[in-house]
Amino acid sequence: MTLLNDREWRGNVFTGSWRPAQGGTAPVTSPTTGSELGRIGSAGAADVAEAAERAAEAQRHWAAVPFEERAAVLRRAGAKFEEEADEIASWLRQEAGSAAGKAGFEVHLAVTEAYESAALASQPNGEVLRSAQPRLSLARRVPVGVVGVIAPFNFPLILGMRSVAPALALGNAVVLKPDPRTAVSGGAVIAEVFREAGLPDGVLQMLPGGAEAGEQLVADPNIAVVSFTGSTAAGRKVGEAAGRHLKRAHLELGGNSPLIVLEDADVDRAASVGAWGSFLHQGQICMTTGRHLVHESLADAYVEKLAAKADALTVGDPEQEGTALGPIIDVGQRDRIHDLVTRSVEAGAKVRAGGTYDAQFYRPTVLDQVTRDTPAFHEEVFGPVAPVIRFSTLEEAAEIAAASDYGLSLGILTGNPMRGMELADRIPTGIVHINDQTVDDEAVAPFGGVRASGTGARFGGTRANLEAFTETQWVTMQSEIQRYPF
């Protein structure tokens, strides 16, 4: 069965059927060919306000549904993702420029997110507290109400699902705003899967749209919590706006994650790890390895092997077998990548591989002789660029790795894992991988960054999801009405 059998979606609000959008429609465009794949609704502020009001009404009924029924919807959604995996992966290739392996892996992550969230619905939701009074005192977790989710273009399916699925499992309604560049794979797919899984009408609202829609989503009084994944610059605006409205904002933002290669690391394996960390999905990942810190004794060999891997990678149409890297999402992003490479070279960095592009296809690039004054050292690249900087001591490695506004993920490659862990203790970061690269995510693990990378672990695992998408409520109960002196 075809999940999305009509390539013109005339609406943008998921209420069981597509509705005309007040914001009109927008093209769905292939970054590979530039051709129009279809059209989808484009939401305005009024659309968001209407959807949030409808979601608030639907949420009260959804929260009252027994947890077994909510879990069953999530399980059916997981099965539907599995059933329609080929079509969904095809949309990720066409719309997001995902290579086949990345697209397949992203669908797999969506499946696991649905199943893990199904299990979340039956988790204990409170604790009995001690009380100095003769009464039952307890703290319980209750749904926040309506969760607003703003998801980006790079991993559009899973970066929407990792908030949508646990929020629904815990009894919330959701208003989802995918990036308009990936409104099908990051929005329409999720909405249709949950519709077919039996999610009640109105509980999930899907609205592709631009800044106006996003601003209304953050400000709307019917939306209690905002879950945002995107750039640090945009995240600051979301956080500021949410603060003015006294609502929680979970911010998963940018990164410039270091991979540290110690002198006892296997250089062949290290180069493979580094290539994957920097070049997967054209480097368009928040956790991408943005800085390669390599011990001076290995640096020349590491750069040579890393450059050879970069030169060997096939860049082109994701629909073609053997393609390792697809296109950059749009021309503007491609130009930002190339500007950063150009400025870094002007500052003294040496190009050992890549540094060129054809249309929206950017060659995987290795920059050597990078210093702390190089633009590629300080700025998030969000492209297939591997800047290499050398160090001589552990103290210097820790200092260089920590010399960043970001703190999302850290990889350390070493023959002595305990030594790696001791080094990690000195570097502010939300995620640490000893003997692996910086890009990883699992539905069962907490995910999030510190510093300019976000507001901590707000997704993944039972505890983080409960904290993100519920409120703590104190309840007491006595056998008789309390007596007071007046």
Q: How many residues does the chain have?
A: 486
CA distances from 72 to 68, 77, 168, 481 (A): 6, 9, 12, 40
SS (H, E, C) 162-204: HHHHHHHHCCCEEEEECCHHHCHHHHHHHHHHHHHCCCCCCCE
Catalytic residue among 106, 113, 252, 380: 252
Contact 420, 397 (CB under 8 A): no
Is 152 in contact with 164 (CB distance < 8 Å)?
no
β-bridge mates for residue 389, sequence order: 293
The single-letter code of the amino acid at 470 is: T
Which residue in the list 106, 192, 286, 467 is annotated as catalytic? 286
Q: Is 252 a catalytic residue?
A: yes
To the query of whether residue 286 is one of the catalytic residues in this protein, the response is yes
Distance CA 92, CA 154 (A): 10
Residue given tokens 């590979």 in the structure block: 32
Interacting residues of 337 by C-beta distance below 8 A, sequence separation 6+: 283, 328, 362, 381, 382, 383, 384, 385
Burial 340-377 (b: 16+ CB within 10 A, else e): bbeebbeeebebbbbbebeebbbbbbbbbbbeeebbbb
How would you list the strands of the sheet with 136-143, edge to edge? Answer: 126-129, 136-143, 470-477
Residues belonging to the active site: 252, 286
